[in-house]
Amino acid sequence: MAYEIRTFGDPVLKTKAAAITEIDGKIARLIDEMFDTLYSSDSGIGLAAPQIGVQKQIFVWEVDDEEMVIINPEIVESSGELLFDEGCLSLPGLYAEILRPKDVLMRGLDIDGNVIELEATDLMGRLFQHEIDHLHGMLMFDRMSPDQRKEALAEYSRITSNQAPARSPRRLKLK
Ligand code: ZN
C-alpha cells in the first residue's frame, strides 16, 4: 500500500529517526510499503521512512531494477566534493545545487541483520547522503548557505502556490 509522502512543513521531517533494534515482520511490511510509495511517485529513486511518517532509521532505493534497503545506516568515510542538482520527494518541484562529498562509504544492516558496507560515488553517493539526512531530520535547506536557502525557500513557495491556485482567493477574503 502506498502512503502519502510527507512534505516540507510536516514536523516528522524535522525529527531524528530512532535506530531499529529488532528486524521483524513489521519492518518487512514497512519495506513493502516504502517501495509501494516510491513506485507511486513520479521521479523518486530513494525513500526514507520519515517521508511516510515513520520515525525509524531505514531507507530504500532502486538501482538497475533491483530493490535495495539499509537499516541504521551511517556514512563512515567520505572524500572529494561534488556540486549536484538535488531533488526531494518531500520538496516536490524544487531542485537545487548542493555541495557534498563525492565518494562515500556507508555502513548499516541488511534485512537479515548482517553488517554491510557500500561504497558509492556521484548519483548513488548523493542518494545515500540525502536519505541519511532524512533520518537525522534534515532537508536540503539545511545543507544550503543562508543566501541559497532564502532563494530556495522563495522558489519552493512559488512552486507550492502554483500547485494550489484555488487556495489563494480564499486567503485573500480572510484578510
Ligand atoms: Zn528527500
For cell 531505514, name the residue: 58
Which residues are tagged catalytic? Answer: 131
**Predicted local distance difference test score (pLDDT) of residue 103:** 98
Q: What is the distance between the alpha carbons of residues 96 and 120, in angstroms, rounded to a whole number?
A: 21
**Predicted local distance difference test score (pLDDT) of residue 167:** 47
**Predicted local distance difference test score (pLDDT) of residue 171:** 44
Distance 1 CA to ligand 1 centre (A): 20
Distance 47 CA to ligand 1 centre (A): 7
The stretches in the chain having pLDDT less than 50 are: 166-175
For 152, phi then psi, to 5°, come to: -65, -40
**Predicted local distance difference test score (pLDDT) of residue 165:** 52
Distance 173 CA to ligand 1 centre (A): 35
Sketch out the chain's domains with CATH numbers: 11-172 (3.90.45.10)
Ion ligand 1 residues within 5 Å by Cβ: 88
